[in-house]
């Protein structure tokens, strides 16, 4: 099956921070893929902006190297790369200096969609917003894309929202959480709301518990300073895992439209219970097998920052009261494996006798790798000899189901094209981010006040032992990370 590609309107997309890591690793490679798929029309251009004094040609060479390094898979078609590079331009711009801004303003075309991607450190956002205003680059239909971290806590997120609101209407602001652009995450909404099968069972009466796991094998990858000040709670739970929880727990929006979806997610965040201290396990990887410890990687021997966290979260709503959501995420774990597992309750009565082996039905949605879905069901083992029950997996890999060759797009491909289309459904609204911080802040303040230290765990393991207890205590088990 070939993906249907609908070209977007011609656009000028300015990428501030165009020589930075995110631009090289994600933004430009994603734009290239969309270009190669035919989604960028002839009038679409990408203008890199950064402080380095580069010519447009040097910038193109720089991006050509980034594509080689980060596209992955088969070598890209040389002609396609050459034509893509012709769509790139570059402006040397220091946010505080007018020369660069004037050069940028002169470059922008009035008759196309204009979008500005702030792929820079958050302290620069205000200067960029002000610069756009001063130079007539903030039209009512201009879009700005704001990367995470969106604040460090509720106060800073509010300040950031207020700053943005001083320049832009909310409809112009695209706050990225790249998890929302992942194909399987969007599929979660399709599975829930395009089928009748699951929704009647999707509540505390039938769902025993939900596990959300985002396991990574990488460490802090050269971002020690940022990560040591953030930790897994701020870096992953407040945004990515929270968004996954929202999509699982939210009520059906009346339409798949930005505010309808975001209103429902907001209600979930507001319904989250405060987390009790005994429902939090934090971990930090130690040195082992030639891998540096977290403290060494972030160059802070005293660090109490968590590189792993597991939480038991309650949702106080009619639908979910009584069904715990267990969240866990960590770095340097055994495998890169992210999934959502919805475990259903046991049937009320076993007609096969009390001794019949029993496994609960589980619906697993795999985010990565091998995006897909598995439903575990009980069947009868074939053959004579009585009614022997067995649980089997109805397994579907999206790539296979959709025809082997299909490339599953990177989250950024979808999200950047949505910005150009003017569709905010998969972006976070200001109030949503603030509500997420309002829930997160007291959790962090709690462990800081208690002086808790994270539990050590070995790189390549499944996290600290204590995280197992979080489940055992409730008579449940984590799913394997493999
Ligand atoms: C980022 C975090 O937002 O998400 C990183 O800052 C993390 O620490 C990354 O590694 C994980 O993203 P993905 O798409 O690889 O699961």
Q: What is the DSSP track for 415-427?
A: HHHHHHHT--TTS
Q: In this predicted structure, what is the pLDDT of residue 246?
A: 98
| Residues in Cβ contact with 11 at an 8 Å cutoff, skipping those fewer than 6 apart | 43, 44, 45, 112, 113, 114, 115, 420
The yes-or-no verdict on residue 153 having pLDDT over 90 is: yes
The whole-angstrom separation of Cα 266 and Cα 193 is: 18
Euclidean distance between CA atoms 211 and 277, whole angstroms: 19
Rounded Cα–Cα distance for residues 125 and 237 (Å): 23
User: What are the distances in angstroms from CA 402 to CA 2, 42, 192, 291, 371?
Assistant: 9, 29, 19, 39, 11
Look at residue 3 in the predicted model and tell me its pLDDT.
61
Cis ω for the linkage preceding 149 (within 30 of 0): yes
Least confident of 94-108, 283-297, 342-356: 342-356
27, 148, 216, 233, best to mutate for ligand 1 pocket (most atoms within 8 Å of CB): 216
The pLDDT, as a whole number, for residue 406 is 66
What pLDDT is attached to residue 370?
82
Nearest to 69 by CA among 35, 28, 17: 28
Mean pLDDT, residues 22-41 taken together: 95
Span from the CA of 46 to the centroid of ligand 1 (angstroms): 24
Statement: residue 73 has pLDDT above 80: no
Report yes or no: 283 and 456 within 8 Å, Cβ to Cβ: yes
Tokens of 318: 């009619």
Give me the catalytic one of 62, 116, 167, 240.
240
Query: Using CA atoms, how far apart are residues 407 and 431, in angstroms rounded to an integer?
Result: 34
User: What's the 32 CA to ligand 1 centre distance in angstroms?
Assistant: 21
Confidence of residue 355 (pLDDT cuts 50, 70, 90): confident
Question: Domains of the chain by range and CATH?
Answer: 11-147 (3.40.50.720), 180-406+429-472 (3.30.360.10)
pLDDT of residue 397: 80
**Residue among 25, 149, 236 to mutate when testing ligand 1 (max atoms within 8 A of CB):** 236
Cα separation, 170 vs 140, in Å, equals 11
d(CA 443, CA 242): 14
Report how many helices (DSSP H) and strands (DSSP E) the chain contains, helices first. Answer: 16, 15
> If pLDDT is split at 50, 70 and 90, which confidence band does 400 have?
confident
- Does the structure show a pLDDT above 70 at 381? yes
Q: Which helix (H) or strand (E) holds 66?
A: helix 56-70
pLDDT at 405: 61
List ligand 1's pocket residues with C-beta within 6 A: 148, 178, 216, 235
Asked whether 48 and 15 are in contact (CB, 8 A), the reply is yes
Q: Torsion angle, CA of 368/371/373/379, rounded to 10 degrees?
A: -90
| 240 tagged catalytic | yes
**Could you report the per-residue pLDDT of 403-430, keeping only the tens digit for each?**
666 678 899 999 999 999 999 999 999 9
- Taking the CA of residue 240 as reference, the ligand 1 atom at the shortest distance is 3
Query: Which residue owns the Cα nearest ligand 1 atom 15?
Result: 216
Q: Band of the pLDDT at 395, cuts 50, 70, 90?
A: confident
Query: Which of the two residues, 405 and 272, has the higher pLDDT score?
Result: 272
The stretch 348-368 carries a mean pLDDT of 87
Burial 349-360 (b: 16+ CB within 10 A, else e): eeeeeeeeeeee
Calculate mean pLDDT across residues 128-141. Answer: 96
Q: How many CB atoms lie within 10 A of CB 7?
A: 14
List alpha helices for 194-232, DSSP H. Answer: 224-232
Is residue 390 scored above 60 in pLDDT? yes
Strands (DSSP E) found in 237-336: 280-285, 308-313, 325-330
In 3D space, the residue among 47, 36, 43 whose CA is nearest the CA of residue 14 turns out to be 47
Nearest atom, ligand 1, residue 367 CA: 16
C-alpha distances out from residue 319 to 201, 251, 264, 279, 345, Å:
10, 9, 13, 21, 15
Q: Backbone phi, then psi, for 273, in 5-degree steps?
A: -75, 155
| pTM for this predicted structure | 0.95
| Separation between Cα atoms, residue 101 and residue 91, nearest integer Å | 9
pLDDT value of residue 357: 78
| Ligand 1 mean position, distance from CA 125 (Å) | 21
Specify the residue for token string 């505010």.
259
Mean pLDDT of 62-68: 94
In the three-class reduction of DSSP (H, G, I as helix; E, B as strand; rest coil), residue 378 is classed as: strand
Lowest-pLDDT range of 95-104, 139-148, 244-253, 383-392:
383-392
The three-class DSSP label of residue 367 is strand
Look at ligand 1, atom 2, and give the residue with the nearest C-alpha.
235
Ligand 1 geometric centre to CA of 368 (Å): 12
Question: CA torsion sign, 353 to 354 to 356 to 361?
Answer: positive
The percent of residues above 70 in pLDDT, for the chain, comes to 98
User: Please, where are the H alpha helices in 110-222?
Assistant: 125-134, 154-165, 183-193
Rounded to an integer, the average pLDDT of 86-97 is: 95
> 3-class SS at 478?
coil
Q: What is the pLDDT averaged over residues 64-75?
A: 85
What is the average pLDDT value for the chain, to the nearest integer?
A: 94
Q: Which of 475, 479, 457 minimizes the C-alpha distance to 466?
A: 457
Res 75: pLDDT: 73
């Amino acid at each position: 099956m070939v993906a249907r590609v609908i070209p977007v309107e011609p656009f000028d997309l300015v990428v501030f921070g165009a020589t930075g890591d995110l631009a090289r690793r994600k933004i430009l490679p994603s734009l290239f893929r969309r270009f190669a798929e035919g989604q960028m029309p002839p009038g679409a251009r990408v203008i890199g902006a950064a402080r380095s004094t580069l010519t447009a040609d040097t910038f193109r060479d720089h991006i050509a190297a980034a594509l080689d390094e980060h596209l992955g898979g088969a070598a890209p078609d040389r002609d396609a790369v050459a034509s893509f590079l012709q769509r790139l331009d570059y402006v040397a711009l220091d946010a505080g200096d007018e020369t660069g801004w004037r050069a940028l303003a002169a470059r922008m075309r009035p008759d196309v969609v204009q979008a500005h991607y702030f792929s820079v450190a958050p302290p620069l956002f205000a200067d960029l917003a002000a610069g756009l205003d001063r130079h007539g680059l903030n039209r009512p239909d201009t879009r700005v894309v704001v990367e995470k971290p969106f604040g460090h806590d509720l106060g800073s997120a509010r300040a950031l929202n207020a700053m943005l609101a001083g320049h832009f209407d909310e409809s112009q602001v695209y706050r990225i959480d790249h998890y929302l652009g992942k194909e399987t995450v969007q599929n979660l909404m399709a599975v829930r709301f395009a089928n009748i099968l699951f929704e009647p069972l999707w509540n505390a009466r039938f769902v025993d518990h939900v596990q959300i796991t985002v396991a990574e094998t990488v460490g802090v990858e050269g971002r020690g300073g940022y990560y040591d000040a953030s930790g897994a709670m701020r870096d992953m739970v407040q945004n990515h895992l929270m968004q996954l929880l929202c999509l699982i727990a939210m009520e059906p929006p009346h339409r798949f439209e930005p505010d309808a979806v975001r209103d429902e997610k907001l209600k979930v965040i507001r319904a989250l219970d405060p987390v009790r201290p005994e429902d939090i396990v934090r971990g930090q990887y130690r040195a082992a097998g030639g891998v540096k410890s977290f403290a060494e990687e972030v160059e802070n021997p005293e660090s109490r920052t968590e590189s792993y966290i597991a939480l038991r979260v309650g949702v106080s709503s009619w639908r979910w009261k009584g069904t715990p959501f267990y969240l866990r995420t960590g770095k340097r774990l055994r495998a890169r494996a992210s999934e959502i597992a919805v475990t259903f309750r046991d049937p009320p009565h076993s007609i096969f006798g009390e001794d019949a082996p029993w496994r609960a039905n589980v619906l697993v949605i795999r985010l990565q790798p091998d995006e897909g879905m598995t439903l575990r069901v009980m069947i009868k083992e074939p053959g004579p000899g009585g009614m022997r029950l067995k649980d089997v997996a109805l397994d579907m890999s999206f790539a296979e189901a959709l025809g082997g060759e299909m490339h599953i797009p990177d989250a950024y491909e979808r999200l950047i094209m949505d910005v150009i289309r003017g569709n905010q459904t998969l972006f976070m609204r200001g109030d949503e981010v603030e509500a997420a911080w309002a829930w997160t802040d007291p959790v962090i303040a709690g462990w800081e006040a208690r002086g808790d230290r994270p539990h050590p765990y070995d790189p390549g393991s499944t996290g600290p032992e204590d995280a197992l207890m979080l489940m055992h205590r409730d008579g449940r088990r984590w799913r394997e990370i493999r």
